[in-house]
Amino acid sequence: MSTFRRIPVEELHFDSRNPRIPQSLRQEDETKILDYLVLESATAELMQAIGENGFFEGEMLLVAERGDGGYTVVEGNRRLCAVMLLNDPGLTSRKKETVRTIAASSRAQLPIAELPCLVFQSKSEITKYLGFVHVTGKQPWGLLQKAEYLHNLYCECKTNNFDEDTRAIAKTIGSKRDYVQRLLISYQLFLKVQDEGYYSIPNLDDTTFYLNYFVDGLSWENIRQFLLNGQPDSEGLPSAIQESNLKEFVTWSFRQDQGVTRIKSDSKSLELLNQILGNSDALKAFREGTPLDDAYTLADGVDDQLADFVRKAKDYLGQADRVTVKVSHFYASLEEDLREIVKLAKKIDNSRKEANDDL
């Protein structure tokens, strides 16, 4: 049950356990959280909107009563932050000039003393609503925030039947069970990485870790088997994490050499890695430093690469042909480039013929 109440701003507190707040800040005071929201959550734009139009009464904060008095804002932390800064721009040490300028030009009557709230007796009453809004709805969190939310929800409702529990969660938030399962398992992998101190990879922490390496990677069979040993147990957690492999995977994904990582988080890179992990020679070469594309050719991927390259070249030439009629000045080395293209095409065709003759 909830009740509507207008609550003084000074009685409202940030939810330090909100998935939007990095775990590294959750033991800090509210000033650190406010500074983070100023930098990361488009708070200046929200301040400007509230300063111009006032606080929209229909956008009530969802709050839960605190045992020590006051209220925790479970939904609406950014809006609370914006109002606090409009009332007192000196609360933050970040973007100070921007914050002061917006507050000074506000048309709304300041300070905003009270905010409209729906008050719940406990945070758990609001949990399912958050999933609908931030996991599948119009205000999505990042993957890590989604995964943490689902992990907390799962821990509250699990019955030790992973399939049925995740099916129920997926139905509640309007998502697919497979996606919910991958997020939950990905979060377990992340917690292991966090527990290992992010393997001492420079500049890697909960604010720079991209969970999509895990979430997307787990949809590929060889990557899944590389990271996990066996099927999930009765509680849905991996029966065993391949710890040395997990360290390798994270290192390939995040440790930079001259600003470049071994693998990227795009689907093509993960597809190539999946093929490499399924071939011992390719994996050995990749572990020894062979670039991803080159290691892939050792995994019987060269045939697919040829088809991919030729089809892309054909597509690009088709695009060039379509714009030719609009060109008023052809660049100087065009004739030479075209001769080289014809030469390469004949060379590839000769290789094809020689291969056929050897059959």
Please report, for the domain that includes residue 33, its CATH number: 3.90.1530
Cβ(232)–Cβ(239) under 8 Å?
A: yes
In a domain, residue 311? The reply is: no
Band of residue 233 on the pLDDT scale cut at 50, 70, 90: low
86 shares a domain with 135? no
Cβ(35)–Cβ(93) under 8 Å?
A: yes
Last residue of a domain, one of 122, 141, 160: 122
pLDDT of residue 324 exceeding 80, the answer is yes
271 shares a domain with 149? yes
Rama region for 226: left / alpha / beta (φ>0; ψ in -120 to 50; rest): alpha
Using alpha carbons, select from 41, 36, 33, 64 the residue that is nearest to residue 139: 41
Residues 6+ apart with CB under 8 A from 359: none
14 shares a domain with 81? yes
In a domain, residue 356? The reply is: yes
Residues 6+ apart with CB under 8 A from 11: 69, 70, 71
In a domain, residue 300? The reply is: no
168 shares a domain with 101? no
In a domain, residue 220? The reply is: yes
Write the pLDDT tens digit of every residue in 27-64.
768 888 899 888 876 888 889 999 988 888 888 899 99
18 shares a domain with 69? yes
Burial state string for 262-291 with b = 16 or more CB within 10 A and e = fewer than 16? bbbbeeebbbbbbbbbbbeebbebbeeebe
357 shares a domain with 333? yes
In a domain, residue 263? The reply is: yes
In a domain, residue 93? The reply is: yes
Distance in angstroms (rounded) separating the CA atoms of residues 212 and 135: 14
The residue range of the domain holding 346 is 329-359
Last residue of a domain, one of 75, 92, 122: 122
What pLDDT was estimated at residue 158?
80
Q: Give the alpha-carbon dihedral of 279, 281, 283, 286, to 10 degrees.
A: -140
Distance in angstroms (rounded) separating the CA atoms of residues 117 and 128: 18
Higher per-residue confidence, 23 vs 267 = 267
82 shares a domain with 162? no
Q: Per the structure, how many domains does the chain have?
A: 3
Higher per-residue confidence, 275 vs 23 = 275
* Joined tokens for residue 243: 């710890």
Write the pLDDT tens digit of every residue in 172-213.
777 888 989 999 999 999 999 999 999 999 999 988 999 999
DSSP, residue by residue, 264-301: -SSHHHHHHHHHHHT-HHHHHHHHTT--HHHHHIIIII
Strands 2-8 and 114-120: what pairing? Answer: antiparallel
Using alpha carbons, select from 220, 221, 226 the residue that is nearest to residue 243: 226
DSSP 20: T
147 shares a domain with 31? no
Question: Among residues of the chain, what percentage have pLDDT more than 90?
Answer: 49
Cβ(338)–Cβ(319) under 8 Å?
A: no
Distance in angstroms (rounded) separating the CA atoms of residues 185 and 60: 34
Cβ(71)–Cβ(7) under 8 Å?
A: yes
Strands 2-8 and 12-14: what pairing? Answer: unpaired
Using alpha carbons, select from 116, 122, 133 the residue that is nearest to residue 79: 116
In a domain, residue 284? The reply is: no
109 shares a domain with 166? no
> Side chain identity at 188, as an amino acid letter?
Q
* Joined tokens for residue 353: 């013929």
180 shares a domain with 68? no
Rama region for 64: left / alpha / beta (φ>0; ψ in -120 to 50; rest): beta
What pLDDT was estimated at residue 18?
80
113 shares a domain with 65? yes
* Joined tokens for residue 21: 């707040």
DSSP, residue by residue, 221-249: HHHHHHHB-SSB-TTSSBS-B-HHHHHHH
Question: Among residues of the chain, what percentage have pLDDT more than 70?
Answer: 91
Using alpha carbons, select from 114, 112, 152 the residue that is nearest to residue 11: 114
What pLDDT was estimated at residue 192?
93
In a domain, residue 316? The reply is: no
Distance in angstroms (rounded) separating the CA atoms of residues 31 and 88: 13
Higher per-residue confidence, 299 vs 264 = 264
Q: What is the pTM of this model?
A: 0.63
What pLDDT was estimated at residue 320?
92
Distance in angstroms (rounded) separating the CA atoms of residues 302 and 272: 11
For the CA atoms of the chain, what is the radius of gyration?
27
Whether residue 202 has a cis bond before it, omega within 30° of 0: no
259 shares a domain with 179? yes
Last residue of a domain, one of 247, 278, 309: 278
Residues 6+ apart with CB under 8 A from 342: none
